[in-house]
Amino acid sequence: MQEEKNTTTKEFHVCGKDLVSKLKEILHQGNIRHIMIINDDGRTLIEVPMTLGAVAVVLLPVWAAIGAIAALVANCTIVVKTEEE
C-alpha cells in the first residue's frame, strides 16, 4: 500500500537578475516535485516537473531557457511544489 504524501506549494517573488541564484538555492533544499516561473501578468513562462533521480538530468537543458527568461523579465514568481512523507 502506498503512503500518501503531503504536497506543499510555496511562492517566491524575485527580480529577473536573481532568478537563477534563487532556483539553485531552492533545488538544494530537496524534495522538489514541480517548478513554475510566472511573469507579472500571470502567464506561465516555464513549467518543469521533477522526477525522482532525474533532477539534474531534467534541469541541464532547461538552464539556458531559464537564463533567457531571467534576462527578459523584470520580476517574476517562482512556484515550487514539494512532497513530504
Cα distances (Å, whole numbers) of residue 32 to 17, 28, 73, 74: 22, 9, 24, 25
Give the model confidence (pLDDT) of 16-60 as tens digits.
889 888 988 887 887 788 889 999 999 999 888 876 445 555 566
Per-residue HEC secondary structure of 8-55 comes to EEEEEEEEHHHHHHHHHHHHHHCCEEEEEEEECCCCEEEEEECCCCCH
Is 60 exceeded by the pLDDT of residue 78? yes
pTM above 0.85, yes or no: no
Query: What ranges do the domains of the chain cover?
Result: 14-77
Burial of 70 (0-12, 13-18, 19+ CB in 10 A): buried
What is the predicted pLDDT for the residue at 7? Answer: 85
Is 80 exceeded by the pLDDT of residue 1? no
What is the predicted pLDDT for the residue at 58? Answer: 54
